[in-house]
Amino acid sequence: MEVKYISTRNKNIKCSCKEAILKGIADDGGLYVYDHLDELELPLNDMMNMTYEQMAEIVLSLLLPDYCEDEIEQCVKNAYETKFESKNITPLHIVKDIPILELFHGPTCAFKDVGLQMLPQLMSKAIDNSYQQKVMILTATSGDTGKAALEGFKNVENIAITVFYPNNGVSNIQRLQMTTTDGFNTKVCAIHGNFDDAQTNVKKIFQNKKLKEQLMKKKIILSSANSINIGRLIPQVVYYIYAYKEMVQQHQITFGDEINFCVPTGNFGNVLAGYYAKCMGLPIKRLIVASNENNVLYDFLKNGEYNRNRIFYKTISPSMDILISSNLERLLYYKSGKDTDYICKLMNDLETKGSYKIKDELKYDIQKDFYGGYCTDKDCKAIIRNVYEEKGYILDPHTATGYKVMEEYQKEDSTPCVLLSTASPYKFASTVMEAIFNEKYTDEFTCMKQLSIKTNTVIPQSLVLLNKEKIVHKDVIDKNNMIKYVENTTKEIFHG
């Protein structure tokens, strides 16, 4: 085992990548990071002729040195061979000059499948079987993570999963996707509160020593499937390289040219994977961070102050309705020169005051690599309509947010830019139908059907089948009862 991962908050908390994947979050509340990222180098030239799966094997073996070649090969195969609708996993479409990387061809029609089909595979190979270890996955979701995690983990031996979502913070389709999931090891529970409440309480459960010790006696460990788990982050590095290869092959750029990526952002996981790719040698000039009206990252990137003390908006891009972008901590770690004491101070400020301000030189350094913009719901709808009318391509509201910010940014930088498309428009059909055709539907299935007829496009199979499936998860609890719920479900599933 190689000790490559450390906590962003304490250099003395070190571990192997298998341990980091099993635990999700470090004991001190910090996030695990690959410490010597700058020493890794992608064999880019060779990678330009590889399939997606081959690229994934390279990236995983560089960042996860504990896994042997066979293990990595099996993980990649299990995660991607049959589960995605496109054999290229994340196809790049040039839509009238605009390169769009479609990340939504997995089982739940959103980009999180790319990471969450892989994480359970990595985790199952990290479990110590000789010791009969068991893992309970805890996840807070703003909609898409939940179903993607459930799909990845259901029926995986020795692992169970509990998903918490904000009762009024997800779409009807998202709720159905989650509450209809079968599998002997799945639990789904709504809470009265918003996504940040769910996420904050999940973090607290991880830090609860008493519960941890109690479970330890039964050989159960708690772990996370949120984008703070490096086992989710690392597979996402792959599609940045894949996009680059496609840009070369589709004659948009010449090998070696710099490109930009525009990323619809919430928890900062997706865009951080792009930063990993950049650190490992992919010629990325800038990463464009697109937010909705919850524009805490836009403000941060502009003036260096992260301030979550603000109104929380429910927008038409709900998977980006986030006020604490957890993965930003990892960026701050690298950019601050790995100053764990400084990260501790910032994160402490965030917890106690709800805000922190970074030093100017750190801000300038981050601004070199990142640009932040945001898009209102009104603009988002206009973009969905315009892009459909002008280019015949349907954007989901998250991707439309990115489109708007990208368009704005390109006024000052003409570097070729790839837009990451994070969800199928069918997942948010009512918003899309209203934006393009000004038609409102109360039933989302009728709405999907109309969208399909009017635009002559196909509804993804997994969404068509949804309203025929039985709802098996009906729990709704107060946000303060989450810990009790976890205790109970762990007993129930593992018969402990």
Ligand X SMILES: *Cc1c(COP(=O)(O)O)cnc(C)c1O
Instruction: Give residue 155's Cα distance to chain centre.
Output: 22
Residue nearer to ligand X on the CB measure, 55 or 273: 273
CB of 228 to ligand X, least distance (A): 10
CB of 325 to ligand X, least distance (A): 7
Alpha-carbon distances of 361 from 111, 299, 336, rounded to whole Å: 33, 17, 9
CA dihedral (355, 360, 361, 364) positive or negative: positive
d(CA 429, CA 445): 9
d(CA 226, CA 212): 19
Does 112 participate in catalysis according to the annotation? Answer: yes
Residue nearer to ligand X on the CB measure, 265 or 462: 265
Residue nearer to ligand X on the CB measure, 112 or 278: 112
- DSSP per position, 253-312: S-TT--EEEEEE-SSSHHHHHHHHHHHTT--EEEEEEEE-S--HHHHHHHHSEEE--SPP
β-pairing, 10-16 vs 3-7, is antiparallel
CB of 289 to ligand X, least distance (A): 9
CB of 232 to ligand X, least distance (A): 9
d(CA 141, CA 132): 29
Residue (of 109, 50, 33) closest to 334 by Cα position: 33
Residue nearer to ligand X on the CB measure, 144 or 246: 144
Residue nearer to ligand X on the CB measure, 141 or 162: 141
Q: Which residues pair with 110 in a beta bridge?
A: 423
CB of 247 to ligand X, least distance (A): 21
Catalytic residue among 4, 18, 23, 112: 112
> Are the C-beta atoms of 58 and 43 separated by less than 8 Å?
yes
Please report, as ranges, the residues that interact with ligand X according to CB under 6 A.
Answer: 110-112, 144, 227, 264-270, 319-320, 398, 422-423
Residue nearer to ligand X on the CB measure, 124 or 270: 270
Tally Cβ neighbours within 10 Å of residue 168: 10
CB of 149 to ligand X, least distance (A): 11
- Which residues belong to the active site? 112
